[in-house]
A and B are shown apart, each in its own frame.
Chain A
């Protein structure tokens, strides 16, 4: 009897331990394994080189993007309790957020501000990686940085799609006409255009189905895609030997002819039997130029995240989120402008209708699909065209990469210029006005 009670309590204790996961590793090896098996801890090496911790090499733009994404998930999750994805009630629920719910304006405003900043920061992260040649493979065997660059391009596209699907949700004039223009650009695609538009709209007209589709895309599908791509992106950084700047250290050490570091071998978590993954925590001798990731790396990540949240909060208070008139399917606002990050595309579709004899190719195909499509394709595949020597990896403006850096900067500058023109130099009927010119007062008949 006594024994039975004892057994009962032992098993209760076991269940309690399983539920609360009070982890007590029995050996160093077990503790190490636990870190290797943990996805979150797997992202970071035990030690991080001082150079990759530097503020001025990476500007921590990737970390800021991740912090913004986290902030967007948190604020977005709360917004989902308050927003109603119905054509009749969407606008009203956003208006309630703005004027009725306590700090609703701050919640919506910080979600919007974080989204704007994320587009900008992800873009600059890409610029940084390009200009430092950080998509090139360096000293680590088995590195595949070009693939991680492609993942990064996909993440940039996902960020833009998240922004697009997000600003449709208030169902105001901006939203309605953005859907109209956006889905008509999709329609301009040859052969599949009509069906793509039908799938996006959930019919032939913009209606309840459309809103629900964009809602699910925005709140579930796209964030899931970003989460998976982001996890892989981080894991890949680790597999490729850390930030590209670390490879420079390794080149310098090779010159000093220090024998190569013995790599550690872990089994692939029992997934792929027989095969093992070589994890080289760093490509360099560990103790010379490295610090323990905990606390040095973690502390910096925390500082960057807190600074990000601070900046978002300040901007949210300074720039209140706009809400246009409710969606009116018959009247387009004049001018009807997309958010700033799409204005270069709006400028492109407005300028690229080509006339060859009596044959016309609409700007919606040229500027809406062909030009951006080609740009993205070229961008994604660029690492495979880059023939610069291996020592150009992880260096800002390396001399061997001068030409391609110049071309890249020019393309970025043109995009930024078109964005500027679209933002400040286009008035009613998309007419050109200088930024200091006043737009004319137009009579409104219809």
Chain B
């Protein structure tokens, strides 16, 4: 059930992804580093950082860092340091029509900032 997730970030370890809940909106970002497949860790920042990405100013309170070869990703998954060649993908979120459970479709990547509101 979607509302049972805590506010903020949850690591779903069997799916290797991070699930974010901000009030009624959800989004999920893969934790599998795009370089060689280690699990990138969620790193909370001491102070929020402002970054200009694609002409838009974004503010992040966390980043993802990979322990294997030092790749670093912004809070929206965009790679900015280390060897990772691509951003961390976002996954399609849906509500199951049968019982209203939150479903992550790890075979369907979606555009960054695609969020599900319930």
**A residues apposed to B, CB below 8 Å:** 177, 180-181, 184-185, 329-336, 346, 349-353, 360-364, 367-368, 428-431, 443, 445-446
Contact = CB atoms under 8 A, between A and B. Distances in A.
Interface string B3-30: 0000000010110100000000000000
Given A180-B36, A330-B13, A352 B65 contact: no
Given A331-B39, A334-B67, A445-B41, 6 more contacts: A181-B36, A332-B41, A350-B70, A352-B83, A429-B66, A430-B66
B58 interface: no
A367 B85 CA distance: 13
A336 B37 contact: no
A362 B85 contact: yes
A353 B44 CA distance: 26
13 contacts: A330-B31, A332-B67, A333-B67, A352-B83, A360-B86, A362-B84, A362-B85, A363-B69, A364-B83, A428-B67, A429-B72, A443-B44, A445-B11
Contact of A180 (B14, B38, B70, B83): B38
B36 A446 contact: no
A177 B68 CA distance: 9
B43 to A, nearest CB: 8
A349 B33 CA distance: 13
B38 A353 contact: no
Contact of A349 (B14, B44, B83): B83
Contact of B11 (A360, A367, A446): A446
Interface in B49-83: 65-70, 72, 82-83
B39 A332 contact: yes
Nearest to B11: A446
A177 B13 CA distance: 15
A435 to B, nearest CB: 18
A372 to B, nearest CB: 15
A185 B36 contact: yes
A332 B36 CA distance: 12
A352 B71 CA distance: 12
B46 to A, nearest CB: 11
A364 B67 contact: no
B86 A349 contact: no
B85 A353 contact: yes
Query: 7 closest Cβ contacts across the A-B interface?
Result: A430-B70, A330-B13, A350-B69, A334-B67, A363-B83, A353-B83, A362-B85
B51 to A, nearest CB: 18
Contacts of A180: 36-38
Contact of B38 (A177, A367, A446): A177
A349 B42 contact: no
